[in-house]
Homo-oligomer: A and B are copies of this chain.
């Protein structure tokens, strides 16, 4: 069904290709999707709030109605366990229903009316009105690590629909079957709600051509992206170079610093160490909130934290990553850290027992080394973390000021740390 080659999904737990074959899209498919989206925009933006809310709720129900086929396909394509994917489906449906509630409630439009003041001096005031309006068709790029909640009908798509924007999704190549199931659920909702078909399109494509063409298309007015820094920055570059630049809302690359403050370490170093390893290895370290960097003042309490973490990590099983590409990038990032003269390996998890498994890794370096080498703050996506040993709290602040913007930061502190 595409003009640019064919591809299949792979089961990362076995390394085997999955049926069926998918057709990759190219410039022709981008052109068609954008033309349809642009043609649908005026009608979709003029839908009433109730109709738009009902559409979002229909999408949610249609996703649930796929039943277990959705879960088993997503399990095969991502290596994620059933409970995790069932939870993610609940979150996805919950997001769609939440946006339906918000749409129906209506205050998000921030309608504001400043009535005319014909008698105002020195000049009369006209009737002034202000409200939010939809931007136009939105391109959404799904993430590999949340095949439902940050993918075809994830939060970006739900919010664009809620605002009255048609959506063109570039499906992630790692879970095309999951994407197609969800895409058909959205498509059916578009039809049953009487909306123009261009309100939603789903494209697949190998390589970067299709994504670049999509972001460059003048009918696309905003981009939602969740994924790698390289991919996100490339799309931001395309968007900024358009004759009419458009916003790219990108979530990418966070190492989520954890600050272990002295009093907290003194009172609960072992518990913090065990908790850290549980957080580090959860979901093969593929959550966007994974703790990639720890900051602490050197002390015997910190040694207790490290000992507890090393012990916990030593018994931690390797687990399957989402794709062979992500797994290869993890291994290469870990090897780079392990090979750095400034970095010491504190512990590794249990050895791998199958394809695409990641062996967790815990490293340390000094604050001085970190401040001298900006590459040490590059994200290694997966269960790898770097402890920065600081001579004092001032050095922790200096390291913190050098960090890039982050999705999360965690302060482990007790009353005496305030």
By a beta-carbon cutoff of 8 Å, the part of chain A in contact with chain B is: 236-237, 240, 243-245, 404-405
The minimal Cβ–Cβ distance linking A37 to chain B, given in whole angstroms, is 14
Contact B244 A240, beta carbon cutoff 8 Å: no
CB < 8 Å neighbour of A240 from B240, B243, B405: B240
Question: In the bound complex, what is the Cα–Cα distance between A244 and B406 (angstroms)?
Answer: 11
- Residues of chain B within 8 A of A240, CB atoms compared: 236-237, 240
The minimal Cβ–Cβ distance linking A327 to chain B, given in whole angstroms, is 28
- Residues of chain B within 8 A of A243, CB atoms compared: 404
- Residues of chain B within 8 A of A404, CB atoms compared: 243-244
- Residues of chain B within 8 A of A245, CB atoms compared: 236
Question: In the bound complex, what is the Cα–Cα distance between A240 and B237 (angstroms)?
Answer: 8
- Helix, strand, loop or mixed for chain A's interface? loop
Contact A405 B236, beta carbon cutoff 8 Å: no
Residue picked from A237, A240, A404, A405, most chain B C-beta under 10 Å: A240
The minimal Cβ–Cβ distance linking A95 to chain B, given in whole angstroms, is 16
- Closest residue of chain B to A221 (Cβ to Cβ) is B405
| 7 residue pairs bridging A and B, Cβ less than 8 Å apart | A236-B240, A236-B245, A237-B240, A240-B240, A243-B404, A244-B404, A244-B405
The minimal Cβ–Cβ distance linking A240 to chain B, given in whole angstroms, is 5
The 3 closest A-B pairs by CB, nearest first: A240-B240, A244-B404, A244-B405
- Residues of chain B within 8 A of A405, CB atoms compared: 244
- Closest residue of chain B to A122 (Cβ to Cβ) is B87
- Closest residue of chain B to A38 (Cβ to Cβ) is B401
- Closest residue of chain B to A123 (Cβ to Cβ) is B87
- Residues of chain B within 8 A of A236, CB atoms compared: 240, 245
The minimal Cβ–Cβ distance linking A136 to chain B, given in whole angstroms, is 11
- Closest residue of chain B to A90 (Cβ to Cβ) is B122
The minimal Cβ–Cβ distance linking A398 to chain B, given in whole angstroms, is 13
- Residues of chain B within 8 A of A244, CB atoms compared: 404-405
- Closest residue of chain B to A244 (Cβ to Cβ) is B404
Question: In the bound complex, what is the Cα–Cα distance between A333 and B276 (angstroms)?
Answer: 64
The minimal Cβ–Cβ distance linking A122 to chain B, given in whole angstroms, is 8
The minimal Cβ–Cβ distance linking A282 to chain B, given in whole angstroms, is 13
Question: In the bound complex, what is the Cα–Cα distance between A243 and B233 (angstroms)?
Answer: 11
- Closest residue of chain B to A233 (Cβ to Cβ) is B245
The minimal Cβ–Cβ distance linking A388 to chain B, given in whole angstroms, is 19
- Closest residue of chain B to A237 (Cβ to Cβ) is B240
Question: In the bound complex, what is the Cα–Cα distance between A243 and B244 (angstroms)?
Answer: 23
- Closest residue of chain B to A405 (Cβ to Cβ) is B244
Question: In the bound complex, what is the Cα–Cα distance between A244 and B402 (angstroms)?
Answer: 11
Question: In the bound complex, what is the Cα–Cα distance between A273 and B404 (angstroms)?
Answer: 55
The minimal Cβ–Cβ distance linking A379 to chain B, given in whole angstroms, is 14
Question: In the bound complex, what is the Cα–Cα distance between A237 and B240 (angstroms)?
Answer: 8
- Residues of chain B within 8 A of A237, CB atoms compared: 240
Question: In the bound complex, what is the Cα–Cα distance between A236 and B237 (angstroms)?
Answer: 12
Question: In the bound complex, what is the Cα–Cα distance between A404 and B242 (angstroms)?
Answer: 12
Question: In the bound complex, what is the Cα–Cα distance between A233 and B372 (angstroms)?
Answer: 33
- Closest residue of chain B to A401 (Cβ to Cβ) is B38
Question: In the bound complex, what is the Cα–Cα distance between A405 and B244 (angstroms)?
Answer: 8
Question: In the bound complex, what is the Cα–Cα distance between A350 and B243 (angstroms)?
Answer: 36
The minimal Cβ–Cβ distance linking A236 to chain B, given in whole angstroms, is 7
Question: In the bound complex, what is the Cα–Cα distance between A243 and B378 (angstroms)?
Answer: 12
The minimal Cβ–Cβ distance linking A382 to chain B, given in whole angstroms, is 23
The minimal Cβ–Cβ distance linking A203 to chain B, given in whole angstroms, is 24
Question: In the bound complex, what is the Cα–Cα distance between A404 and B404 (angstroms)?
Answer: 34
Question: In the bound complex, what is the Cα–Cα distance between A240 and B405 (angstroms)?
Answer: 15
